[in-house]
Amino acid sequence: DVKVTQSSRYLVKRTGEKVFLECVQDMDHENMFWYRQDPGLGLRLIYFSYDVKMKEKGDIPEGYSVSREKKERFSLILESASTNQTSMYLCASRGGWTEAFFGQGTRLTVV
């Protein structure tokens, strides 16, 4: 069974902290994505990666960075968390020309 696992369901962090969101997939997919989802704005692409050590900016990369050292793992990093980064974060992976599979989401609150 296809699986995309995000390390945390809920996180509460303080303003200015460095935050790591981890995503692991077990399908040997080349492509991995990080989205954030906000009410009224839908899913917006932050970063994606189509190969190990490769990354490309999405629509809203400011304030974020990513790391993909291994094929199965794609990390999203908030260098200095701010309250406007409070959101639901969704990781997805995709192999070839198929549908994307999503993780269960991480609801991040920055206080």
Partner 1 sequence: EDKVVQSPLSLVVHEGDTVTLNCSYEVTNFRSLLWYKQEKKAPTFLFMLTSSGIEKKSGRLSSILDKKELFSILNITATQTGDSAVYLCAVEALGGGSQGNLIFGKGTKLSVKP
Residue number, 68 or 81, with CB nearest to partner 1: 68
Q: Does 60 bind partner 1 (CB under 8 A)?
A: no
10 contacts 24 by C-beta, under 8 angstroms: no
Judged by CB under 8 A, the residue of 64, 78, 103, 110 near partner 1 is 103
Helix spans in 3-80 (H): none
Q: How far is the CB of 25 from partner 1 (least distance, A)?
A: 12
Segment 46-49 long-range contacts (CB within 8 Å, at least 24 positions apart): 46/76, 47/76, 49/74
Interaction residues for partner 1, span 9-48 (CB under 8 A): 30-31, 33, 35, 40-45, 48
Q: What share of the chain is helix, strand, coil (3-state, %, to 5)?
A: 5, 55, 45
Number of chain residues interacting with partner 1 (CB under 8 A): 29
Give least dist CB 31 to partner 1, A: 6
104 binds partner 1 (CB under 8 A): yes
Among 17, 26, 56, 79, binds partner 1 (CB under 8 A): 56
CA distances (Å), 27 to each of 20, 23, 101, in order? 22, 13, 10
